[in-house]
Amino acid sequence: MQVFESGRVPTRPDNRHDWFNALAWLAFPLSKARMNAMHAARIPLEGKRRGPLRDLLTVFDEGGVLVACDDEELVRLARTLRWKELFWTRRSRLRRAMRLAVLGHAALEKALEPWPGITCKALYLSPHESLDEQAARWLAQLPSGARARDLAPLPVFGYPGWADNERAEFYDDERYFRSPRA
């Protein structure tokens, strides 16, 4: 509520989490403002206990990634959790056609000390329009019953260059590159 009421993003000295949150506000002002307004609107209805929509907003705010891609096959591979095919077999095509913009400030903080388990919640958008504008519109249209589990996972460390992932075997570790549930 503090940001909503004051218009100020609190940033504690020497706090990386706050620093990345402030940077996310600068990079994605429409999306961050929309999430903040949605939280503020729900708090009087929910009190201290966060409901499903606020959970989704929190997960997306902390660990969201905006994926700019109009290659339907690549998006389908990501949505169906076919990670090795997406990140390895289609690697050249992926580099040309898919760009990631990490909105989640906790994910950015984790990237300072990367590890294979860093997974974001992805929103797939057109690369031909502002990602911030598209994400803000998507947020505004979310139904009150939307849930965090509705967001698609994306193990961002699998993206070429995010980590030391220049070997096909890297994508065989199912602790991180999980298959769809049966």
pLDDT, average across residues 97-106: 96
Q: Is residue 112 situated within a structural domain?
A: yes
The domain of 92 spans 2-172
What mean pLDDT is reported for the chain? 91
Q: Is residue 181 situated within a structural domain?
A: no
Q: Is the pLDDT of residue 6 over 80?
A: no
Q: Is residue 73 situated within a structural domain?
A: yes
Q: Is residue 109 situated within a structural domain?
A: yes
Q: Is residue 165 situated within a structural domain?
A: yes
Cα distances (angstroms) measured from residue 151 to each of 55, 91, 136, 148 = 11, 24, 15, 6
Task: Pick the more confident residue, 60 or 181.
Answer: 60
d(CA 172, CA 149): 24
Q: pTM here?
A: 0.91
Q: Is residue 166 situated within a structural domain?
A: yes
Contact yes or no for 37/3 (Cβ under 8 A):
no
- pLDDT, tens only, 14-30: 889 899 999 999 999 99
Q: Is residue 180 situated within a structural domain?
A: no
Task: Pick the more confident residue, 116 or 49.
Answer: 49
Q: Is residue 168 situated within a structural domain?
A: yes
pLDDT, average across residues 99-107: 96
What's the domain count of the chain?
1
